[in-house]
Amino acid sequence: MSTLTELLNFLNTNSGAIQALATVILVLVTFYYAWQVRHTVKIMRNSEEQRNRPRIVIFIEQRENWLNLVDLVISNYGNDLAREVKFSISEDISLIDKDKKLSQLGIIKNGIKDLPPQRILKMPLVILTDRLEELRKIDIKITVSYTDSIKSKNFSETFSVDFNSLIEQQIGELPIYKLSRSIENIEKTLQKIERKLEKTR
């Protein structure tokens, strides 16, 4: 009983200090929860921005019907329009037309004004015939810079053009070769028909 009395006397005597301590604790708890809410909102906002931003990706790809032909692929895999797209390359190479260089390719040289989301651009780059070993020794890096649709944020990424990942094999034929051979076969057939007609005259 005396212990309870002493406790009550202590609380009465120090009620001001206890109230002040409780106020400080309440302020600290309130501050902590406010910080937690602000931090969570910031994470959600950053996640939303990342999800809705433009995102350009660059890589090389072999044609399915002609593995010797390699395309340069530029794609906007993001969910926003990419604007003022510019390119720079660390090293130059000859293209299919060996008199023309990668740096002279229209898109690389002039950039792209607007690249819509989910848009994929493919351009013939090189033919691997007699060049694969040469290309494997080259380490080309393409840097792309661009802004979002409202030009409020700038982005920049660098991609390696890795010829070592390509398959050293040739399958299928280029469509133009198939067409050329078909035309030759048609011409031969027509010549045979013409000779037969001449014999019957």
**Per-residue pLDDT, 28:** 79
Q: What phi, psi does 67 have (nearest 5°)?
A: -65, -20
The mean pLDDT value of the chain amounts to 81
Q: 104 and 38, same structural domain?
A: no
Residue 97 falls inside a structural domain? yes
How sure is the predictor about 201, in pLDDT bands with cuts at 50, 70 and 90?
low
Looking at the structure, tell me whether residues 159 and 99 fall in a common domain.
yes
- Mean of pLDDT values over 88-97: 90
Spatial CA neighbour of 126 closest among 172, 60, 75, 180? 60
Q: Are residues 148 and 159 in the same domain?
A: yes
Question: What residues are paired with 40 via a beta bridge?
Answer: none
- Segment 188-192 shows an average pLDDT of 74
Whether residue 34 is contained in a domain is answered as yes
Residue 195 lies in a domain: no
Length of the chain: 201
Q: In this structure, are 80 and 169 located in the same domain?
A: yes
Same domain, 45 and 83: no
Work out how many domains the chain is built from and give that number. Answer: 2
| Residue 26 banded pLDDT, cuts 50, 70, 90 | confident
Inter-residue contact 127 to 70 (CB < 8 Å): yes
Average pLDDT over residues 142-161: 94
**For residue 168, what pLDDT band results from cuts at 50, 70 and 90?**
low
Measured between alpha carbons, how far is 88 from 143 in angstroms, rounded to an integer?
Answer: 5
Could you tell me if 63 and 90 lie in one domain?
yes
Asked if 59 and 144 sit in the same domain, the reply is yes
Residues 75 and 100 in one domain: yes
Do 45 and 58 fall into the same domain?
A: no
Q: Residue 149 in contact with residue 54, Cβ under 8 Å?
A: yes
Domain that holds residue 160: 54-176
- Indicate if 96 and 109 belong to the same structural domain: yes
Evaluate if residue 169 carries a pLDDT over 60.
no
Residues 33 and 128 in one domain: no
More confident call, 184 vs 133: 133
3-state secondary structure 145-188: EEECCCCCCEEEEEEEECHHHCCCCCCCCCHHHHHHHHHHHHHH
CATH at 61: 2.60.40
What tokens appear for 122 in the block?
A: 């493919």
Contact 121, 83 (CB under 8 A): no
Cα distances (Å, whole numbers) of residue 147 to 38, 82, 84, 102: 27, 6, 6, 24
